Amino acid sequence: MIADGHDEARERIEIDLLLEAIQRRYGYDFRGYALASLRRRLWHRAYGEGLQTLSGLQERVLHDPTCMDRLLRDLSINVTEMFRDPSFHRALREHVFPLLRTYPFIRVWNAGCSTGEEIYSLAIALHEEGLLARTRIYATDIDEAALGRARSGTFALDRMQRYTENYLRAGGSNAFSSYYTVSGDAVRFDPALGAGIVFAQHNLVTDGSFNEFQLIMCRNVLIYFGPKLQEEVLGLFGLSMTRRGILALGRKESIRHSTHADEYEPLVEHEKIFRRRS
């Protein structure tokens, strides 16, 4: 707990030095992340390591790469579920997929794919709309461990009831259980759903554009970034998007006050789905 302004200033110095050390030692740049969320996650890892100061966490991270792996998982955004916000996924079917259908080959970038729930949700919906066979989905995340889980297509069985409800509310037309097989307390989704998915580690802060996409989905990631970093990431998306491409953000995210706002027009405004003007 911060006792006074002096302690708060000292803690900020510790945070700055820790982030600088991470960037120079491992190449991950978290210096533009929103401070309040970042502070909570750093202290969570410090206490998890049995440490009482962020300076102690800096020393541990510099000398112990396994500690950095644990911290990276804490700093990554892995709160997700299949067909999260069903009305958003229904809007994809009703407003976005008809536009994608006009392309002979479709490229989608899911930036910040976490453990894969959103990716497989998208693949199922594209399959049901007859678009999956001509779609290449690029699923990227900063966290290699999360990507490994996403690649496996394996999820906990006890979540399937919730996911089935989301799927039906999102406009699903088949028996959701037909897409996976059960093994013990886990399910594995049909490998055919993942055949057109490319999983790759990508850091939105430091890595550049790598293709042009008709649809970029980056939901519930920008809220963890500070304003400057949000601007940079939105610029990256602009460089990575085809003419008249589509950008989908999370419900609490907006481009309204961004310098990139005029580059887009609302497609489904209440679901934060935008279309590039040119």
For the chain, list the domains and their CATH numbers.
5-75 (no CATH), 86-276 (3.40.50.150)
Of all residues in the chain, the percent with pLDDT exceeding 90 is 79
pLDDT of residue 2: 47
Q: Could you read off the pLDDT tens digit of each residue along the chain, which spans 278 residues? A: 444 566 889 999 999 999 999 989 887 888 888 889 899 999 999 999 999 999 999 999 999 999 998 998 888 766 689 999 999 999 999 999 999 999 999 999 999 999 999 999 999 999 999 999 999 999 999 888 889 999 999 999 999 999 999 999 999 999 999 999 999 999 999 999 999 999 999 999 889 999 999 999 999 889 888 889 999 999 999 999 999 999 999 998 989 889 999 999 999 999 999 999 98
Q: Which helix (DSSP H) or strand (DSSP E) does residue 228 occupy?
A: helix 227-239
pLDDT of residue 6: 62
d(CA 159, CA 218): 23
pLDDT tens per residue across span 57-115? 999 999 999 999 899 888 876 668 999 999 999 999 999 999 999 999 999 999 999 99
* Mean pLDDT for all residues in the chain: 93
Give the contacts of 122 (CB within 8 A, at least 6 positions apart).
92, 108, 110, 137, 217
Task: Give the residues across from 110 on adjacent strands.
Answer: 139, 217
Tokens standing for residue 7: 């302690």
pLDDT of residue 1: 45
pLDDT of residue 34: 84
pLDDT of residue 5: 60
Report whether 164 contacts 128 (CB < 8 A).
no
What's the angle, vertex CA 117, arms to CA 113 and CA 118, rounded to 5? 60
pLDDT of residue 28: 82
d(CA 46, CA 255): 34
Tokens standing for residue 195: 């055949």
Task: Give the residues across from 225 on adjacent strands.
Answer: 33
Residue 227 vs residues 31, 83, 234, 254: alpha-carbon distances, Å: 12, 28, 11, 11
